């Protein structure tokens, strides 16, 4: 179990408060690294200095760099795979950007885990921060016009075209849909399970808002992933409710099929040719990997060693991309992560549903499952993004944040179970 050690209040109360605040800011202080890679400001050396400072302070206060988490070994393995991939990379300029952002993701993960006992206001700040990132991603899609224009979202792109966007950074609808597919099930679970009223209402409003953005994104992969995530939330709520919802959804789809199956937007959202292109990319990637099954293609090497496809398209499968970038070591790290995640899932399923952390943990699991489904169709771990006339290979922090939140919610459940056992109360924990 991870504990956060705070500075003593006396005799230097002001210094203690500043030190504790600095430790709480630990994950946020990694964000300048992403800005440096994306925008070139602040200077990268300065961003790393800002990110590392709280770690030195934590080492001074607690005599340890970080707490232990269930995913430490997979992270260590993945880091080794990233380094091997960098060594084998045919394009070090491209791979440098993903190395920096990957390490920033790791720091963000441990920064959150180190503050698992923070108060509600801290988590409100985290939520606001994530919402701002999603707003930035949404604006970059609709202002840039890089997405599927269909009958129900054309007005959003028209509105976006009238906005002056000062940054030369463009995202795409699939990236937005994948991110929202992770977020919406999590917020929905927080809204429907036992929680403080203000938290439930806030989560419900945000879930509704981001569901609308997901709909407007017209991302077929995001829609599918979000629906799977929502079914996982219902499964956590009740097995009977799951089967009832599943049957009701099947009946609704069957009853409305004659109305919408011939609609033009259906083919636009779920284009057959796009699926066939993805299958072709997967086959080409597998053929390339057969030449280097252990080391992979090198970090960012897919675009050099699978020359049939131009930038910025990738293999459109995050698992194949991970294998190509990090080789067999990365695959082993992924398998270990899944095994440990399943163990945490079993613990959550046997936990007390009346616990305030249960809905959060269930929602995070549902979000991660949704992210895993989306990863079958798109690159959501590392993405190649256009910056002006150049490209950057970028590690996406969203799943890292969700993994940290999963660890923290499980820790809260464990602490609750321990208190119940000490009080002689049965909690249903195995």
Extract the tokens encoding 137.
């991603």
For residues 184 and 134, the answer to whether their CB atoms sit within 8 Å is no
Question: What is d(CA 171, CA 131) in angstroms, rounded to the nearest whole number?
Answer: 16
What is the rounded average pLDDT of the residues 268-286? Answer: 84
CA angle 415, 418, 419 (to 5 degrees): 90
Tell which wins on pLDDT, 156 or 232.
Answer: 232
Half-sphere exposure in the Cβ direction for 37 (13 Å, CA): 26
For residues 334 and 372, the answer to whether their CB atoms sit within 8 Å is no
Beta strands in 181-222 (DSSP E): none
Instruction: Check residue 186 and give its pLDDT.
Output: 93
Separation in Å, CA 41 to CA 134, 152, 168, 170: 21, 37, 13, 17
- Cis omega before residue 42 (within 30°)? yes
pLDDT digits (tens, 9 = 90+) for 64-123: 878 888 899 999 999 999 999 999 988 888 889 899 999 999 999 998 888 877 777 777
pLDDT digits (tens, 9 = 90+) for 373-425: 999 988 888 888 777 667 788 898 888 989 998 888 888 777 665 554 444 43
Question: What is d(CA 211, CA 209) in angstroms, rounded to the nearest whole number?
Answer: 5
Extract the tokens encoding 75.
């992270």
Instruction: Check residue 278 and give its pLDDT.
Output: 85
Confidence of residue 271 (pLDDT cuts 50, 70, 90): confident
Mean pLDDT (the chain, rounded): 82
Min mean pLDDT across 175-189, 193-207, 217-231, 346-360 is at: 346-360
Extract the tokens encoding 179.
């991110």
DSSP state for residue 296 in the 8-state scheme = T
Neighbours of 415 (CB within 10 A): 15
Residues 6+ apart with CB under 8 A from 49: none
Confidence of residue 15 (pLDDT cuts 50, 70, 90): very low
At 101, which helix (H) or strand (E)? helix 92-114
Instruction: Check residue 146 and give its pLDDT.
Output: 66
Instruction: Check residue 2 and give its pLDDT.
Output: 52
Instruction: Check residue 7 and give its pLDDT.
Output: 44
Extract the tokens encoding 416.
């609750």
Tell which wins on pLDDT, 312 or 176.
Answer: 176
CA dihedral 41, 44, 49, 52 (to 10 degrees): 110
């Amino acid at each position: 179990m991870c504990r956060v050690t705070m500075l003593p209040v006396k005799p230097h109360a002001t210094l203690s408060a500043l030190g504790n605040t600095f430790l709480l800011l630990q994950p946020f202080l990694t964000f300048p690294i992403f800005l440096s890679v994306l925008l070139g400001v602040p200077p990268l050396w300065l961003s790393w200095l800002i990110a590392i400072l709280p770690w030195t302070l934590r080492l001074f206060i607690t005599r340890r760099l970080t707490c232990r988490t269930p995913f430490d070994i997979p992270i260590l393995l993945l880091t080794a795979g990233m380094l091997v991939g960098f060594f084998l990379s045919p394009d070090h300029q491209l791979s440098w950007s993903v190395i920096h952002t990957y390490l920033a993701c790791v720091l963000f993960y441990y920064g959150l885990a180190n503050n698992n006992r923070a108060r509600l206001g801290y988590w409100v700040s985290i939520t606001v921060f994530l919402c701002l990132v999603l707003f930035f991603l949404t604006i970059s899609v609709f202002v840039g016009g890089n997405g599927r224009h269909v009958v129900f979202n054309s007005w959003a792109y028209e509105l976006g075209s009238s906005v002056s966007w000062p940054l030369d950074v463009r995202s795409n609808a699939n990236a937005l849909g994948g991110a929202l597919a992770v977020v919406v099930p999590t917020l929905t679970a927080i809204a429907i399970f036992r929680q403080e009223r203000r938290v439930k209402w806030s989560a419900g409003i945000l879930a509704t808002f981001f569901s609308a953005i997901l709909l407007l994104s017209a991302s077929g992969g995001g829609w599918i992933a979000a629906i799977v995530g929502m079914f996982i939330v219902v499964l956590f709520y009740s097995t009977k409710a799951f089967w009832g919802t599943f049957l009701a959804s099947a009946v609704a789809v069957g009853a409305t099929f004659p109305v919408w199956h011939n609609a033009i937007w259906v083919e636009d959202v779920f284009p057959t040719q796009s699926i066939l292109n993805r299958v072709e990319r997967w086959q080409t990637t597998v053929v390339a990997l057969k030449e280097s099954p252990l080391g992979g293609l090198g970090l960012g090497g897919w675009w050099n060693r699978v020359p049939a496809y131009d930038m910025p398209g990738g293999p459109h499968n995050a698992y194949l991309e991970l294998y190509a970038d990090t080789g067999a070591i990365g695959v082993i790290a992924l398998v270990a992560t899944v095994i440990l995640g399943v163990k945490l899932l079993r613990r959550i399923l046997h936990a007390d549903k009346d616990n305030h952390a249960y809905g959060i943990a269930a929602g995070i699991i549902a979000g991660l499952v949704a992210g895993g489904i989306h990863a079958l169709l798109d690159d959501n771990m590392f993405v190649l993004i256009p910056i002006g006339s150049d490209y950057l290979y970028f590690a996406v922090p969203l799943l890292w944040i969700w993994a940290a939140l999963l660890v923290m919610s499980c820790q809260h459940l464990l602490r609750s179970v321990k208190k119940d056992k000490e009080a002689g109360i049965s909690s249903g924990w195995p």
